[in-house]
Amino acid sequence: MSKLKLKTETKCQHTDTIDQLMPEGCIHYSKKLCASCNAFIGWNKSPKTLEEKDRRTKLISDLKELNLSSFERSFVTSIDTVMHLTPKQDEVWKRICDKYNKM
Ligand SMILES: [Zn+2]
């Protein structure tokens, strides 16, 4: 019983949630709160982030069909599951897309 306690303690027992938009400029898009007691449940991904991720996933599968260098192949594989690219990753990603006329 005591082992499970930590995990259940942070969550309320309600099931209804509401989304609350975060102010502009915040790195999070919106947060999920309990509709009954306002407990914080988690962060929501913005539609834009999800769209970009979706688009990138499709491009990555396209790119993998091509004759990529081993660096390019391991790079696109490594960012396949990443939601936000770092500026450095973004730079490399754009370069690869450019080279293969994707984007
Ligand atoms: Zn609650």
How do residues 29-83 score in pLDDT, each as one tens digit?
Answer: 999 999 999 999 999 988 988 898 999 999 999 999 999 999 999 999 999 988 8
* Cα-to-centroid distance, 40 and ligand 1 (Å): 9
* Cα-to-centroid distance, 16 and ligand 1 (Å): 8
CA distance 74 to 50: 23
Q: Is 96 exposed, middle or buried (0-12, 13-18, 19+ CB in 10 A)?
A: buried
Residue keyed to tokens 């209804």 = 16
* Cα-to-centroid distance, 4 and ligand 1 (Å): 19
| Per-residue confidence (pLDDT) for residue 27, from 0 to 100 | 85
Please determine, for residue 4, whether its predicted confidence score (pLDDT) is greater than 70: no
* Cα-to-centroid distance, 15 and ligand 1 (Å): 7
pLDDT band of 10, cuts 50, 70, 90: low
